[in-house]
Copies of this chain bind each other. A is one copy, B any other.
Amino acid sequence: MKRIILFFFILCWYPVYAQRDKIDLEWQTGYHKVEIDQPAAWIPAIVPGAVQLDVMKAENYKQPWWYADHVLQFDWMEDVWFTYRTQFKKPNLQEGERVYFFSKGIDYQFKIVLNQKLLWEQEGMFTYVNVDLTDDLKDQNELKIVLLPVPHLGFKFEDGPDSYRRNARESAKPAVSYGWDWHPRLVTRGIWDETSLIIRKPAHLSDVSVEYELNDHLSRAKLQTTLEGIHLQGCYFKWIMKDPQGKIVLEKQERLTTDQSVITAELSDIQLWWPSGYGQAFLYSSEFTLLDGKNQILEQQSCKTGFRKIKMIMNEGAWRREGGFPKSRAVAPASLEVNDRRIFAKGSNWVHPDVFVGVITPERYREQILLAKNANFNILRVWGGGIVNKESFFDICDELGILVWQEFPLACNNYTDDVKYLKVLEQEARSIIKRVKRHACLALWSGGNELFNSWSGMTEQSLALRLLNSLCYQLDPKTPFIFTSPLYGIGHGHYVFYDASINEDVFQWMAKADKTAYTEYGVPGTANLDVLKSFIPENELFPPRKKTAWELHHAFGVWGAERWLEWPVLQKYFGEIKSLEELVKYSQLLQGEGLKFIYEEARRQKPFCSMAINWCYQEPWPSAANNSLINWPNEIKPAYYQVTSACRPVLASVRIPKFDWKEGEDFSGDLFMLNDTYDQLTNEKVKVIMQYDGIEKELITWDCPGAGGFSNVKGPSVHTAIPRMTGNLFTIQVHVAGKPQYSSTYILLFSGK
């Protein structure tokens, strides 16, 4: 039985069991058809994890689970009961100490049974579980967690488009696991976050939180630490706060007279927390110590605070769009303002880094969030089809200056107005808000994904959304809240390079689009070559065919017959494709050039446009083709680099009207200098070159004038006749003299005469 001191391992607050006794447990699991059955066999369970992985290992399923069609082996596991079991000796307790079972997440509906006595029932995986076992402990104990079958409404793939996801519309379980165009139907289950026994002293803290109010100049903060606990009367509470450089800026000690106390303080010369690209993400650290009447340390906790003000305001020019009489309202506010400065939000949609959310580690989060920062992103939209991430996700975003747009677990469904569902949603939402609101990175609450679109059918009148707005207002009024994305004026899509139904490529539709914010858009590309080879059996690799691993891994049939591989589009542009290597090359070329265009065009549409957030960042298992920038588990696709380039703080950019060009056509392009920073732009010499068949042709030079912060400069248009070329690709290069970091290159198609 190990006792581990947790102090300082956790950066941020909500129930932090620091300097207390924590007892890790050994778990087993097993499945059964009805509740009262016992499992036929008990098998070892990894916690946190998923019962599917435990069964796979114990029963020698084909591995790895993500190879070929192995994922189908899990199909039967939705409709059975699973029970976790652990046995432990009663801990040695000192006078007044109590033993709690504590878990940060059990997925999804479960009962906690100690020595055959039911102690707790819960529906919902985002509410921490905290059950006092003390009075029911024996010398030798058996603790069980009984998981009810997965909630679903019986919709199957055969029931029509989007049928899988409809299974989710009466529960607060993330919808994605019921099947999505990039996620298998695989409803994971089990203990998915840190879980242990906790021994608590008679006097202990249950919650400590710091809130602040900034003055108008954002230079001073009124601080308020609220602490709650049990048997605190007569104890001392000590609060030390250090600035980002480690200097102590605040030290307070108070004698407690009740179990609830509020301690106030003031701080000046605040070093603000800024999102990446706009300043440093300064964090202050607090250390809290609970001491008994004799000054003996009972408990210690710590947390970090980033001081910032965040608002969602109307986009520039948006007020003018209400039109003539009869006057209406055209667009909703969609522009983030941080510390009184409008920012341009650049980022991506975050989905599960893994189908099995129980295996996600802080290291995995850090790798991916660091890549996001390095891509010049300042925001991640945590999409409502997935989980609300573990604490370490938010800690890392705090640290790296990545804003988080946090959706509640609702997506692409008409969630019911029924009281039973609303009760679970309220419990889960309260837990989520209380936990996440403490993080500086939190930029925006959203009710969920695409709930106001026709395929979902929710409205502002849906009770689930009114409830969420109400809870966010009550618990966290300073953080903006939107009902869903897209809202009025915000755009989702398109998700392909070329759409035959409108005969337009991405350059064409995007240049005509006129949205306040682009918060989803994608261009699919195949997985990297080595990734494809890792999960597609060799005999299925080329050419890609339906009814193979390609299809199961989303290359065909997920949205129309040809997505996400888009074989006809590849053939349209590149003719017959002769090898897997060629396929990957061309598919990934389209993804990179397409995404680059959208990001840059969104920025060219500033100041009316305020956000560019592509669909999607990563993926939860290896897809054969997908809109993601990163292959599972963490392989960078080439598009990542194109997007990184398009998101540079300052760059020279050309709006090119289409991708494929024929000999003799009038090629044109509009020049821009894009600046998302608040630094002044200096005068620059810009030169545009067309390069083909090894020939460099200078098209124009532009003396780009300087400009103020956060302002783009629109330059001249380039025109030239497309010459005869031998190769099928040519480039347009924009050189900025002496500033190679501003220069850009676009790859285009020469499609003959």
Q: Which residues of A contact B (CB under 8 A)?
A: 311-314, 319-320, 322, 324-330, 332-333, 452-454, 457, 459-461, 463, 466-467, 469-470, 472-474, 477, 480-483, 486-495, 499, 502, 509, 513, 515, 518, 521
> Which interface residue of A472, A482, A492 has the most chain B CB atoms within 10 A?
A492
State whether A320 and B454 are in contact (beta carbons under 8 Å apart), knowing that A461-B311, A492-B326 are contacts in the complex.
yes
State whether A329 and B488 are in contact (beta carbons under 8 Å apart), knowing that A314-B459, A466-B473, A469-B466 are contacts in the complex.
yes
Q: A328, B489: Cβ atoms under 8 Å? A: yes
Chain B residues lying within 8 Å of A328, measured Cβ to Cβ, are 486-492, 515
* A333–B467 CA distance with the chains assembled, in angstroms: 18
Chain B residues lying within 8 Å of A494, measured Cβ to Cβ, are 325-326
Q: A477, B463: Cβ atoms under 8 Å? A: yes
Give chain B nearest CB distance to A442 CB in angstroms: 15
* A494–B490 CA distance with the chains assembled, in angstroms: 28
* A729–B330 CA distance with the chains assembled, in angstroms: 40
Task: Give 24 pairs: A residue, B residue, CB < 8 Å, sorted on A.
Answer: A312-B461, A314-B459, A324-B509, A325-B492, A325-B493, A325-B494, A326-B486, A326-B493, A326-B509, A327-B492, A328-B487, A328-B489, A328-B490, A329-B452, A329-B453, A329-B487, A329-B488, A332-B459, A332-B460, A333-B461, A461-B481, A466-B469, A466-B481, A469-B469
Chain B residues lying within 8 Å of A313, measured Cβ to Cβ, are 459, 461
Q: With CB as the reference atom, state the residue of chain B lying closest to A480.
A: B461
* A328–B519 CA distance with the chains assembled, in angstroms: 10
Number of copies: 2
Q: A457, B492: Cβ atoms under 8 Å? A: no
Give chain B nearest CB distance to A426 CB in angstroms: 11
Q: B515, A326: Cβ atoms under 8 Å? A: yes
5 further contact pairs, Cβ within 8 A, besides A326-B492, A329-B487, A469-B469 = A312-B459, A327-B486, A327-B492, A470-B470, A470-B474
* A639–B509 CA distance with the chains assembled, in angstroms: 49
* A492–B328 CA distance with the chains assembled, in angstroms: 7
* A493–B329 CA distance with the chains assembled, in angstroms: 13
* A482–B477 CA distance with the chains assembled, in angstroms: 19
Chain B residues lying within 8 Å of A452, measured Cβ to Cβ, are 329
* A487–B328 CA distance with the chains assembled, in angstroms: 6
Give chain B nearest CB distance to A291 CB in angstroms: 35
Chain B residues lying within 8 Å of A502, measured Cβ to Cβ, are 324
* A474–B474 CA distance with the chains assembled, in angstroms: 11
Q: B325, A509: Cβ atoms under 8 Å? A: yes
Chain B residues lying within 8 Å of A469, measured Cβ to Cβ, are 466, 469-470, 473
Q: B459, A327: Cβ atoms under 8 Å? A: no
* A521–B324 CA distance with the chains assembled, in angstroms: 13
Chain B residues lying within 8 Å of A327, measured Cβ to Cβ, are 453, 486, 491-493
Closest 4 CB pairs of A and B: A326-B491, A325-B493, A325-B494, A470-B470
Q: With CB as the reference atom, state the residue of chain B lying closest to A319.
A: B454
State whether A322 and B453 are in contact (beta carbons under 8 Å apart), knowing that A328-B489, A466-B469, A469-B469 are contacts in the complex.
yes
Chain B residues lying within 8 Å of A481, measured Cβ to Cβ, are 460-461, 466
Chain B residues lying within 8 Å of A482, measured Cβ to Cβ, are 460
Give chain B nearest CB distance to A559 CB in angstroms: 12
Chain B residues lying within 8 Å of A474, measured Cβ to Cβ, are 470
* A282–B105 CA distance with the chains assembled, in angstroms: 51
Chain B residues lying within 8 Å of A467, measured Cβ to Cβ, are 473
Chain B residues lying within 8 Å of A499, measured Cβ to Cβ, are 325
* A517–B483 CA distance with the chains assembled, in angstroms: 22
Give chain B nearest CB distance to A563 CB in angstroms: 14
Chain B residues lying within 8 Å of A311, measured Cβ to Cβ, are 461
* A472–B473 CA distance with the chains assembled, in angstroms: 13
Chain B residues lying within 8 Å of A453, measured Cβ to Cβ, are 322, 327, 329
Q: With CB as the reference atom, state the residue of chain B lying closest to A460.
A: B332
* A469–B467 CA distance with the chains assembled, in angstroms: 9
Q: With CB as the reference atom, state the residue of chain B lying closest to A321.
A: B454
Q: A330, B460: Cβ atoms under 8 Å? A: no
* A330–B48 CA distance with the chains assembled, in angstroms: 44
Chain B residues lying within 8 Å of A460, measured Cβ to Cβ, are 332-333, 481-483
Give chain B nearest CB distance to A519 CB in angstroms: 9
Chain B residues lying within 8 Å of A472, measured Cβ to Cβ, are 466
Chain B residues lying within 8 Å of A509, measured Cβ to Cβ, are 324-326
Q: B454, A326: Cβ atoms under 8 Å? A: no
State whether A330 and B488 are in contact (beta carbons under 8 Å apart), knowing that A324-B502, A454-B320, A461-B312 are contacts in the complex.
yes
Give chain B nearest CB distance to A179 CB in angstroms: 21
Chain B residues lying within 8 Å of A466, measured Cβ to Cβ, are 469, 472-473, 477, 481
